[in-house]
Every structure is written in C-alpha cells, then in structure tokens.
Amino acid sequence: MGLGLTLLPLAAFDPATLPGQLVYGILIGSIYALVALGYTMVYGILKLINFAHGEVFMLGAYVALFISWALGYTPEEMQRAPMPSSLMVLGLMLVGSMVVCGLVGVLIEFMAYRPMRNQPRISALITAIGVSLLLQYGGALFLPVSPPPVIREEANPVQGSLRVWIQKPPEPLLGQYTEAEREFEQAKDAHKNEQYKIRTNGTTEEKLAALSDKLAAARTRYSDLERQIQPKSIRLILPHGLLVMAGTSLVLMLFLRWLVMKTKIGRGMRAVSQDFDSAALMGVNVNTVVFTTFLIGSALAGAGAMMYALFQGLTISTFFGVAPGLKGFVAAVVGGIGNIPGAVLGGLIMGVAEALVIWSGLDMFKDAFGFVILIIVLLILPKGLLGSNKVEKV
Amino acid sequence: MRFWLVRLASVAVVLVGCFLLQQWAAASLTPYLQSLVFLAGGYVALAVSLNLINGITGQFSIGHAAFYMIGAYTTAFLTATFFKAQPLDSTAWVVLMVVAGSVVAGIAGLVVGLPSLRLRGDYLAIVTLGFGEIIRIVVQNVKALGGSFGIDCRVEPAPPSIMLMWLLAILTIAICRNLLKSAHGLPFLAVREDEIASSAMGVQVTKVKVTAFVVGSMLAGAAGAIYAPFQVFITPLNFDMYQSFIVLTMVVMGGTGSVTGSAIAGLLLYLLPEYLRLMKQPGTSKAISIGGPAVAAGLVGVIVLVWLLRVVQAKVVGSKWQRWAGNLGALAATALLVYLGSLALHGVPFLRSRNYTMAELRMAIFALVLIALMLLRPAGIMGHHEFSWDGIGKRLRRRTSGAKA
Amino acid sequence: MSENATPVLRLKEATIKFGGLIAVNCVSFDLMKGDLFGLIGPNGAGKTTCFNLVTGLYPPTSGSIEFMGRDISGMASAKIAKLGICRTFQNIRLFKALSAVENVMVAAYLRHRTGLGSGLGLLPSAIRETKELRRQALELLDVVGLSDVAEERSGDLAYGRQRRLEIARAMATQPELLLLDEPAAGMNPNEKVDLQQTVRRIRDDFDKTVLLIEHDMRFVMGLCERIVVLDHGEEIAQGPPDAIRNDPKVIEAYLGAAV
Amino acid sequence: MTSKTSSKISLLAALAAAAVLFGCKPAETGTAGGGGSGSGSGSGETKSARAMPTVEGPKVEGDTIKLGLVASLNGASKPWGEDCKSGAQLAVDEANAAGGINGKKIELMIEDSNSQPQDGRVATQKLVSEGALCVLGEVASGITRPMTDVTYAAGVPQVAIGATAVDLTQKYANIFRVCYNDDFQGPVMAKFAYDELKLRNVAVMTDNKLPYSQGLSASFKAAFEKLGGKIASEEFYEQGNAQFTGQITNLKSKNPDGIFLSGYFNEVGPIAKQLRQNSVNVPLFGGDGWDSTELINSGGDAIVGGYFCNHYTSTEDRPEVKDFLAKWKAKYGGEPGTTMGALTFDAANLVIQALKNCKELTAKELIAQIDQTENFKGVTGTITLKGQNGDPLKSALVVKVTRTGFDFAKSYSPEELK
C-alpha cells in the first residue's frame, strides 16, 4: 500500500466471471499461438529469433485493410452508403493477407537472413531487429498512419455474440430480457437495412431518423434489463468474431500439423530442424525448406493479423505488430521454442494467464505477468514446456 | 614505482581531460551539443558495459535498459526524496548516487544473473528482455516513482554531468580493457567459447557469469545514475525496449567482444540519427526535404547497393584496386538506378504528392544503415579485434613492406 | 594403510542411466599413481560417459567414484578439476577464438592468486601474474611442440595440433590425473608416434597418472600398461595389453557377436 | 579499492533502506517528485509560484523569426505529430503570406521527438540552440515535461499543444498551453455524466502507459465522487493492447450505468466494440483523446452515442472553425485526422499574434505578450491566458459521437465548474 499499489482492487476474485475469463483466455490464446508458430518454425529451422515477424503481422493487417478498401468498405463510402458484408469478403481478406505476408516473409528471408546464414547468430538477430525497425519506421513513410486507419466493421460478416447460460436468471426476467434483446436486434437490423437502402436510393432521411430513435429506445430498454439480469445469472458471452478467429486458427494449425507430419516438405523441415548441415548433406534442399518455413510462418501471421484487426476493430499503425509479436514470441519460448505443439500450448497458456491476471484485478500488471510466467517456466524447465531437454553431447 | 607513476599520470590525464571537456562544453557548446556529448558518452558506457556481459562473457542479454533504468530511478527517487534538503554539494551528491544506483543495479544484475546459471543463449535473452519489461511496468504502477508521468530528479546547481559520464565511460572501457589484458579476463572469454570445456579446466562458470552480470549492470546503473539528474525529469518511456535493442545493436555492430568496437559503434549509432537532424540544404538553414519518388527509389537503391557490394566482396578476386573499382562501379550503378528510378516513380501520383524532411526520414535511414552494415560486415566494425597502437604499426609496416615486394 | 596404496582413481560399481538406457553399468577399476591406463571398447561402449562421470559432467546413478581416497561422485566439474583431474575432449573443445597460449593460460586459472579486483584495475600484481602464467603456458606449449604457433588463433590450427593443444591445456591445470579422450584420433602414423612419446613423457617427467580412451589398438597396446575393456556399458576385461589382446570376450566384442 | 567500496556499499545500503522506509510511509499524500499528476487540489497553492526564467532569452536578429515545433514525426505518436506539423505550417504560411511580422518572415523549424521523452528533450535543445524564439509542443505530457526544463533554462516561451497533465505549467512562467488540463476536463465530464446523463455508478478504464490517461482518470474520479457519484471499478490496459474482454467481464459484473474511457481513440474504439459484443450497452464517455473520426470507424455502432470532451467540432458554425477547415482542405485535402491540427494551428497563431504585439522581438517580451493574451479567437475556442498562469481560460465542448461525425452536445465555461 505504501508504494501506492492497490493490491486488492474492486474487481478481485469474482467467481461468477471466472468461466468467461477462462474461455476468453483460450480464444485469445489461439491468436498468440498463431503468431508463436511463426517464431517457432523459423527458430526450429534457422535458430534465428525472427524479430521482424511482428512487422509481417503488421503488414498483414494493412493488406486486409487495403483489400477492404478496394472492395468498397472505405470510411467515406460507408458513411455515405453502408453495404452489407459477406463471408466472401472475409475469405478474400484472409487469403489476401496470407498470400502477401507469405511473400513478404520469403522476401525478407532472401534479402536479409540468407546472407547471414553462416554468420554468428547474434549478427543475424541484429539484422532481424534492423528489418523490424525499417518496416516500422520506413513503413510509416508510405503506409497510411495518420489518422491510424481501421477496417470498417461493415466488412465483417460475423457480428454479434453467442450466449451460453451457466446459471439462468429467474424466468419472468429472462423472458423480458430475451424479448428486449430481440427487439433491440430487430431495431438494429431494421436501421441497418434502411441504411443499406441508401445505396439503392430507396430510403429517406426521415425514415432513417425514425428508425434511429426506435433503436435508441430499444437499446435503453435492453441495457436496463441487461443490468438487472447481470447479478442474478452467470453466462458466457462469446463474440462470434472471436469464435471464428479461434476456429480458423485451429484449422490452420491442423493444416500445419498435417503438412509437417505427413508431407515430404514437412519431413524435410523436421530433418533440417534436427540438424541443418546433416540434412543438407542427406539431400534435403535446405533452401526450399527455409523458403517454405518463412512462407507458411508468415502466412499464418497474416491470417492472424487480419482476424485480429477486423474482429477486434483495432486501429492499424506500423507498430501494430509489436505487442502481439512480443506475446507470440513469449508464447513460443514458454512452449519450447522450435516445438510446434509447444507454440500452441504456450499461446493458450499466455491467453489464459492473462485472463486470470485480469480476473484477479491486477490488470495493470497484465503485460508483465506474461514474462513472469515465462521466467518461472524457464527456471523449472530451461527449454520450455515441450522443448527437448536433451543433454549437450560431449 | 614507475608503474604507479604511469598509472597516476594516466588517471590524472583522464580526470583533467574530462574536466576540460566539461568546461569547454559548458562554455562554448549549446545545450543541444552538450546533450549530444553527454549522451554519446552515456551510450559508450552502456554499450561497453553490455559488451562485458554479451561480447566478452557470451551471455546473451538483451534487457540492458532495465539496469540503466534501475540506476536512474534509484537516483531519481533518492534525489526527489532527500535532495531538497541539499545535504551535499551537487557533484558529491551525484557521485553518491552513482554508488547507490550501481549497487541497486548490481543487485538486480545478481537477480537476473542467477537464472543464467540454468539458461543459455536465446532463453537467457528472452528472460533479460522480460525482466526489462517487468521493471518498466512495475515502475509505471508505483506512485512514489511518479507512475507513467515520470519523476523530477533535479539536482541543483547542475552537476558536471558531462565530466562524470565520460569518466564513467572511460572507467568502463578501462575495466573491460584491463580485464582482457590480464589473465583474469581469460575465464570470461573461455566461458563464452565453451562452457563445458571451461568447467573441465576448473573455471567456475557460474561465478564468472554472475560476476559479468553484476559488473555490467553496475556500470549501466551508474550510467543511469548520472543520466537522471542530467535529464532532470525521467519517465519509464526513457527506458523502453527500443533502448535495449539500440545498445545491443551497438555491441554487435562494434564486433562482439571488442571493447573499442563497442565504443566506436556507441558513438556512431547514437550520433547518426542526430547527424541526420543536423543536415540542411547546402548553404542555407533550411531543412532538406526529399520527394516521395526519390525516397522510394533510394530505399530500393540501398538494398541493391548492398547486394552489389556483397557480390563484389564474394566474387571479385584480384588486387585491392580491382576491388575498389568494383565497389565504385556498384556505387555508380546504384546511383544511376536511383536516379532513373526516381524519375520513373514520378509517374506514381501517390508518391509524387509526398515530401519528406530529414526529421521524418532519419529513423528509416537509421534502420537501413543498420541492415546494410550488418550484411556487409557481419562480424561488426572491429570483428574480434581491438584497437592498439601496435596493431596500427603492424598494418602500416605490412603495407610498406607489401609495396616493396 | 600406507599412502602408496591409495589409488589415484577408484570407480566402485559406477553406474549411470539415461532414461531406460544404462550407459555405464557397474564399472569398477583402480588407477594407481603413475599408471598409464587405457580404456577401450567398441563404439557406444560407454567410454566417454565414464570420463564424463569422473569429471563431474553427470553424477553417477549409483556406485561411487573416489579420487585420492575422496568421494567425488556428483561433485561439480570445476571443483573436480581443482582437486586435480583434467581431461581432453573427443570432439575437440578448444576456446576457438583465443590464441593457443591463451587457451593454456585459461587452464592455469585455478592457480590464480590475485583477486578479480586487481585484474579490473590492472594492478602490478595482476600484470606480474599474467606474465608468469604466460611464461608457464609457453613452456607447456614447448612440451607438446606448439611453441611456434603460440600466438595463433586456436581454431585455425591444424587438427593434430589442436589435439596437442588440448593436452597442453589439460596439463596446465597441473592435474594429478590426466584423462585423454581419443587423443590420436585423426592423426597420421608419424603424429601418432610423436604423441605416444609425448604422453609417455608427461607421465615420466611430470609424474602424472594418465587414463586414455583410444580406438587405435596399436596405439593403445604400445602405450598403456594396463587396459580396461568396456562393451555396452559393462566391463568385460581388465589387465595388461597382452592378456587383453588374447581375451576371447574382447575379440568377440570387437568382431561382433556373430559367432 | 575493494575495502573502500564495501564500506561505501554498506553505508549506501543503509541509506537506501532508509529511503524506502521514509518514502513509502506517507501513503498517498506525499508522493515524491513530479508524481501526483492528477491531484486536483494541489493546483491552487502552487499557481503563484511560477518562476520567470532568469536567463535573458534570444532575440530576433536579421529578417527571420524562428519558430520551433517539436512533434512526433516518428514512432507511435506519429498520427498526432503529422497533424501538428501540418497545423503549424498552415498558420506560419498564412502569416508569411500576409506579410509576416513587421516585414520579418517567420521560419518554422520542425524537429522530431520520435515519440520519446529523451529525443523530445534533445530536439528542443536543438531548436533553442538554433535560435528559436518560441517552441511549440508537444502533444504528450510525458514528452512535454522534460522539454519545459530546456525552454526554461534558455528563457524561451513554450506553448504546449495537447499536454493536459496538471502540473506542467505550474513551475515555470514561460510555459503555456492551448488545451485545457486534466483538472478542467475531468470535472467537465464528471459534471456532464452526473447532471446530463444522470449516471451514478460509473466504471473507469485507464490506459496505464499514458500519463494523460492516468491523470484524466484520477481527476474524473475525484470530481465524480465529489458530486456524489460512485466509481464502480477501475480497469487498466496499455497502449497497443487489443484484447479488453477480460477487463470488460470484470466491470460488467459491477453493473455500472456508464463507462468513462480516458485513453486515446486507438484503444477506445476497440473497447467500445468489445463492450457491445459483451452486451454492455451503457453510455460511454471520455476525454479529448477520443477526438478523431477514426473513432467512428474503429468503434462502429458501438461508439455512436458516446460523449467526449473536445476543443471544437468540425460541424460547429463558428467562423474560425469553418475558415480553418477550408484552409486545411485547400492545402492538404480532407479534414485533420485529430484535434492536434487545430490546436497546433491555434498555438502557432497565438504566438504570431503575440509577436505582432511585441515592442521588441525578444523571447522575454514574447513571454510577456503571450501571457497577456486575452480573448484570442482560436479554432478550438476563445483562449485567454492573462492571469491564468499558463493554462488557458476557455470553454470545453462536450460532443456526441454520431455515425458521420461529432455533434455539439453542451458547452462548459470555466466559471460553471467553480
């Protein structure tokens, strides 16, 4: 207390919110895992901490932004006449980000890392820091940063949340609540549809204003009931965006697993990660393996970035990748860097740990706590949770 | 006896030199240039002290700003709490703070150094990085340290900070150089080279590692202790990850293990972005501004140049003159490419509409120079070598004898 | 018991397991002062693991290791080195970036008398000591015939010279017992003869006990006075070279169990 | 050597231990140094203690008047820095086109602070050493604070643009600002929330990395509690975070009837969106950090209907606003992305007006003239600095976020808050 720390804040230890926090932790952890995979794959192959990975992530968000703009979801257009989104838009952004990020990753490898392959690893690391700084500062010269842009939510076809009751509120209240919610949703849809009609010149300002008032009234009623129901119930609220994000991450991870375990190039990757030189001698085309590694790792970052930016509604700047990059990196190390399941596990642990720190009310130390976990894990298992603790051969 | 005379004389020279530097700077330099002189000294001290951990002992630490921060905040806190009563002359106070800051930072170094017994390489690196972030976040949340707003650590009258910082920088260099000159440095180098073999030779690896950590962090803490009163006001932002990376970059760019290399790179990398600030249109005091097409072409040009120079390095075998011709050719080709490229890029309206001043470009240029230097000289400016008069003599002799032959 | 009767090194049923694998199983032998002892066996027999046990890299799972009558099982490497056991490595582990003479000087670290402070301050005592250490190191390099390359970067030396440098480095700790792990590997026959002489000289002139691992039978038989044979972690024979040469178990181990 | 140090070490250890004890016992009151940025009450007593620079500042020689601007042209605060640069350039070009000051042209020198306090300080030193008669900047309090020591030492006036930390202007008489401080903004929003929105149980979310956010949250909490409201909970995040669901879950369980978001719009938008995803539909409101049309893009439906305290809105009818927006559009196209464009424009024009009033062009005179500013008609409101010890007397707007921009909701003059 003397140091001005409020160690037992107001929100501390509310059992009712714990399940929700845990589930969020896992959902968010899936993104950390996706970023961590990129670090871990490159590390496994080249023993290089690819500090520019966060910046590739950043570029992924920009690519998604540009695609959304190209498809017409620009701020000006959306203010004038919003239009609905479709899963196709989402798919285009996803694939676009993955492809461009994959190529950028490969380009970075070719230009900056390949020449450093036979050099001391620390020199390669500094080059990676240099690339990261160049993309942050150099990118800011050409990419839109002021004001920091954002992908319009109209481009996002998966809105809303899934609700799972753990403890239902008393029946009459629940009925009222469901009713109010439906009215609110209907008012929202009606309002939106009317807005979309602007595109086809089928609406008037008056009509829209009336609907807007209706929406406001519905919202007030709904939020009043929401507040009444809150203390009497326990539930999980899962934004659809987060679910899609976690689902896509899972699919990508399964794809990666298949690729690494079942394909020829995957075998090559495993061989190279065991012993770079021997694999080369045994006829594995090391350059192809490194190429694939960067391609896939960066594409995963691109996918993560696009979903992160869109579903969380984040403003994008050239520093967009710093925080998730650092988290992903820590997740990779916690899981055992170089180990693919480890990265996934690490990501999930980071997500859940963060959620628990917030739950306990110490959210001001949230970002420090990831590192505390990291240090504790490394002190007990010096190679991370799933890293091979093999003894150095003498 | 003679030894002590020489030693006393050299200490006296350093003291007088730093004193004169301080007097000269205070009398004839603007506050801006004084800042540059001061901070250049600070970065030399930081880079060389990190070199002790990273380059000489081979412990991959990338959180050096944490120790710097601890030194600075120890001083800031003590100054804010006790200095109002003016217990001491300000120089004496700062010297006392240097001791306090380095002790606290040294203890922190011990805390971080202990895990290094179990961790190697990249794992240690991430732990040190994490330690830096933890310290920053904790400070940010401690009201007594000013939180994220920062803390006032004024020492009045202003202490001779330039003198103190350069004394520290020279002390740091001297410590590292002495270590490498005496047999005491060998275990440190041996630990860097091969831990298992060192322990088989009876080197107490843990003790060596922890010593390096503690001494390195103490020096960084001392630098922080001098930095805080000079800055007058410090915030956690002064010590973020970027600072750690810059100092690490200085060490690697100078050549890991080379004390002179770290010192030179420290000066170079700190002063480069500041030099870019100073660039003006020739003959006027107007800031240089460059059009978008030229910037884009230049960016690509540097990358091309690096590749061409690498090709020259790798492929052109022949006399020195031939190599130089190759380098110049690469340079000329790039210049042409940049020129033509910028003309061609004028066709892009987006680029044409943009104009950049040096102030905006400087960080991008800095990053580009970093990459280019690493690609062209992966072992750093000095490699593993040290500056020495003997070495210079040898090179000169070789050159003359080569000319004879 | 008189002092002479205390063995320099005694392995008592030393055993180490890595997971399910028993790398060394109940190996026992004694080394007396001045012995020139050979440790042989086919690949994977556990020879190097034995060295690692003795030098404290791994603690034994069971059994004990005594040095000069003192139990050293599980002791830290550096401490064992200080007590007087030093080794070379099968795959050379020199301090590559250091010069040859510096490599040897590192090993003399044990005998530092001045404190670290004097080194940091480069006080006269440290300078004097550094000079003295360098002189001694150069002498040792002379013994192994490397004085001409003393100032060269050790990583750049020819293979055979690197092996010799390792021996000189190990000698510099002034050990009672010297462990040589395949010192002749990769050497040509002439070099091997030189090496035999060097090892013998080390034993005779410097009064050391030597335990060495070697694959080259001729080298071992010509040099060692007593030999232990390991196979699959177990001790299968022990005795003077002639006895070993004719031991059917040894022959089987080397020729394979295809009989 | 070693024995000496060891005795020193023990002495120091004792000292340090004592320091920790003393420094920590007075729990919340005696925060050391520049700590309590948002401690609303302390401002009254310190206001009179503004020290005039003892150094005779520079004076204009030759035909150009050098005006310095420190802005974040690199780094995380670049969005604001860019607007500062544009806003200042706009004002200076206009003044020069109109003939300058008594025939002397104004030269705008722009330096990069790289979004870092250390670089900001060095940049200021450079400007001062190159003869800047006045320094404008910075946007962030954390960077502005170290700059004030430099300008004070050089005897040069400094006009801060967006730095709202309370004690920035308390120390030196040469420091001014064109934005109101946290002690004004916090109570404005507290009053608005209490009186207009009728909120009684409010949750606060603070960006712990920003001095701005910490200060604003503190002053809001104090004012809101003084009015009789209750702070349900306070949650923290850091600039650059993306995920706020955890904090939202926490505050949702406290059933607040409104949420005060004191951070920058970069995070406020996503927070609003995630609040809605979690069915938190209570009113959102915050400080001038919200000001950017990007807020509507990032917050979407969720932020529409929110309120924040601002300096002006682009839909205002005041001629200054219309004029400014027209000029901006002509020169750069579009509208400024953040308020910093207008604030810097005002800061520059305020200095230019003061320069016009100067009898002789010296820094000392300029400080006096800036201090005499009365009813300066700026884009961001009518600014009076006279007798205000560096903080402007100007009214604050509360604006409402709509789908297309920000609509005027209520105006608070300084008197209304007293």
The pLDDT assigned to D49 comes to 73
Quote the CA–CA distance of B54 and B204 in Å, as a whole number.
Answer: 18
Transcribe C209-255 into DSSP letters. Answer: EEEEE-S-HHHHHHH-SEEEEEETTEEEEEE-HHHHHT-HHHHHHHH
Residue among B235, B281, B356, B363 with most chain D CBs within 10 A, to mutate: B235
The pLDDT assigned to D266 comes to 87
| Chain segment C13-51, per-residue pLDDT in tens | 889 888 778 888 888 888 888 889 999 888 888 888 888
A169-232 belongs to CATH 1.10.287: yes
Residue among A154, A228, A314, A360 with most chain D CBs within 10 A, to mutate: A314
What domains can be seen in chain D, in order of their start residue? 3-41+52-180+320-387 (3.40.50.2300), 183-310+399-417 (3.40.50.2300)
**Strand-pair category, C234-239 with C70-71:** unpaired
A394 touches chain C (CB under 8 A): yes
D292, exposed or middle or buried, with CB in 10 Å at 0-12, 13-18, 19+? Answer: buried
Transcribe C114-148 into DSSP letters. Answer: S-HHHHHTT-HHHHHHHHHHHHHHHHHHHHTT-GG
What ipTM goes with this model?
0.86
| Chain segment D59-91, per-residue pLDDT in tens | 888 888 999 999 999 888 888 898 999 999 999
Q: Which of residues 159-198 of B touch C (CB under 8 A)?
A: 174-175, 177-179, 181-187, 189-190, 192-194, 196-198
Architecture of domain B13-277: Orthogonal Bundle (1.10)
Sign of CA dihedral D31, D37, D41, D44: positive
What chain D residue is nearest to C117 in terms of C-alpha separation?
A: D2
Residues β-bridged to residue D172: D51
- Residue B106 is encoded by which pair of tokens? 């040294």
For residue A391, the chain C residues in CB contact (below 8 A) are 18, 58
Backbone angles phi, psi at D254, to 5 degrees: -95, 0
Q: How far apart are the first and last CA of chain C?
A: 46
Q: Across the interface, which of B76, B242, B362 has its CB nearest the CB of D33?
A: B76
Tell me if D2 and C117 make a contact (CB, 8 A cut-off).
yes
Tell me if D211 and B234 make a contact (CB, 8 A cut-off).
no
Quote the CA–CA distance of C51 and C66 in Å, as a whole number.
Answer: 13
Instruction: Give percent above pLDDT 70 in chain C.
Output: 96
Q: What is the pLDDT along chain A (394 residues), one digit of tens a residue?
A: 334 444 444 445 777 788 888 988 999 899 899 999 999 999 888 888 898 999 999 999 999 999 999 998 888 888 777 788 888 999 999 999 999 999 999 999 998 998 888 888 888 888 999 999 999 999 998 998 877 888 888 888 888 888 888 888 888 888 888 888 889 888 888 887 777 776 677 667 788 788 888 888 888 888 888 888 888 888 888 888 889 999 999 999 999 999 999 999 999 988 888 888 888 888 888 899 999 999 999 999 999 999 999 988 888 989 999 989 989 999 999 998 888 889 999 999 999 998 888 888 888 888 888 899 998 998 888 888 887 755 555 5
A9-156+239-380 belongs to CATH 1.10.3470: yes
Q: Which residues of C61-84 are buried (b: 16+ CB within 10 A; e: fewer)?
A: bebebbbbeeebbebbbbebbbbb
A7 touches chain C (CB under 8 A): no
D318, exposed or middle or buried, with CB in 10 Å at 0-12, 13-18, 19+? Answer: middle
Q: Across the interface, which of B4, B185, B190 has its CB nearest the CB of C95?
A: B190
- Residue D346 is encoded by which pair of tokens? 């005002």
Region for D312 from its dihedrals, namely left if φ exceeds 0, alpha if ψ lies in -120 to 50, beta otherwise: beta
Quote the CA–CA distance of D213 and C195 in Å, as a whole number.
Answer: 75
Domain limits of chain A? 9-156+239-380, 169-232
For residue B200, the chain C residues in CB contact (below 8 A) are 55, 57, 77, 81, 86-87, 89
Quote the CA–CA distance of A324 and A57 in Å, as a whole number.
Answer: 8
Quote the CA–CA distance of C53 and C15 in Å, as a whole number.
Answer: 9
Domain limits of chain B? 13-277, 289-381
Tell me if B189 and C110 make a contact (CB, 8 A cut-off).
no
Cα–Cα–Cα angle for B379, B382, B384, rounded to 5 degrees: 70
For residue B189, the chain C residues in CB contact (below 8 A) are 95, 97-98, 102, 106
Neighbours of D169 (CB within 10 A): 28
The pLDDT assigned to A3 comes to 41
The helix (H) or strand (E) run that includes residue B23 is helix B2-28
The pLDDT assigned to D1 comes to 39
Which ranges of chain B have pLDDT less than 70? 283-285, 388-405
Cis peptide before D94 (omega within 30 of 0): no
Residues β-bridged to residue C178: C86, C210
CB B199 within 8 A of CB C78: yes
Region for A150 from its dihedrals, namely left if φ exceeds 0, alpha if ψ lies in -120 to 50, beta otherwise: beta
**DSSP for residue A363:** G
Quote the CA–CA distance of D3 and D10 in Å, as a whole number.
Answer: 11
- Residue D326 is encoded by which pair of tokens? 């027209």
- Residue A25 is encoded by which pair of tokens? 């932790």
What chain C residue is nearest to D2 in terms of C-alpha separation?
A: C117
Tell me if D116 and B141 make a contact (CB, 8 A cut-off).
no
| Chain segment D284-308, per-residue pLDDT in tens | 999 988 988 888 888 888 898 899 9
CB B124 within 8 A of CB A383: no
Number of H helices, E strands in chain B: 16, 4
For residue B384, the chain C residues in CB contact (below 8 A) are 97
Quote the CA–CA distance of D199 and D191 in Å, as a whole number.
Answer: 10
Q: Across the interface, which of D122, D129, D214 has its CB nearest the CB of B147?
A: D214
What domains can be seen in chain C, in order of their start residue? 1-84+217-259 (3.40.50.300)
Tell me if B147 and D35 make a contact (CB, 8 A cut-off).
yes
Quote the CA–CA distance of D390 and C234 in Å, as a whole number.
Answer: 88
3-state SS, chain D, equals: CHHHHHHHHHHHHHHHHHHHHHHHCCCCCCCCCCCCCCCHHHHHHHHHHCECCCCCCCECCCCEEEEEEEECCCCCCHHHHHHHHHHHHHHHHHHHHCCCECCEEEEEEEEECCCCHHHHHHHHHHHHHCCCCEEECCCCHHHHHHHHHHHHHHCCCEEECCCCCHHHHCCECCEEECCCCHHHHHHHHHHHHHHHCCCCEEEEEEECCCHHHHHHHHHHHHHHHHHCCEEEEEEEECCCCCCCHHHHHHHHCCCCCEEEECCCHHHHHHHHHHHHHCCCCCCEEECHHHCECHHHHHHHHHCCCCEEEECCCCCCCCHHHHHHHHHHHHHHCCCCCECHHHHHHHHHHHHHHHHHHCCCCEHHHHHHHHHCCCCEEECCEEEECCCCCCCCECCEEEEEECCCCEEEEEEECHHHHC
Quote the CA–CA distance of A110 and A287 in Å, as a whole number.
Answer: 10
Residues β-bridged to residue C210: C36, C178
Quote the CA–CA distance of C169 and B200 in Å, as a whole number.
Answer: 10
Q: What is the pLDDT along chain D (418 residues), one digit of tens a residue?
A: 344 444 444 444 444 444 443 333 333 333 333 333 333 333 344 445 788 888 888 888 888 899 999 999 988 888 889 899 999 999 999 999 998 888 899 999 999 998 889 999 999 999 998 889 999 988 988 899 999 999 998 999 999 998 888 888 888 999 999 998 888 899 999 999 999 999 999 999 999 888 889 889 999 999 999 999 999 989 999 888 888 888 888 888 888 989 999 998 889 999 998 898 888 888 999 998 898 888 888 888 889 889 999 888 888 888 999 999 999 999 988 888 888 999 999 999 999 999 999 988 899 999 999 999 989 999 998 999 988 888 898 888 899 998 778 888 888 888 887 6
Q: Which of B165, A102, A219, A26 is nearest to D243 (CA)?
A: A26
Per the confidence metrics, is the pTM higher than 0.90? no
The pLDDT assigned to A135 comes to 94
Kindly report the nearest CA distance between residue B282 and chain D, in angstroms.
Answer: 16
CB A312 within 8 A of CB D242: yes
Cα–Cα–Cα angle for D291, B139, B50, rounded to 5 degrees: 110
Whole-Å CA distances, C249 to A362, B262, C244, C252, C255: 69, 61, 9, 5, 10
Q: Which of residues 13-32 of B touch A (CB under 8 A)?
A: none
Q: How many CB pairs under 8 A join C and D?
A: 4
A119 touches chain B (CB under 8 A): yes
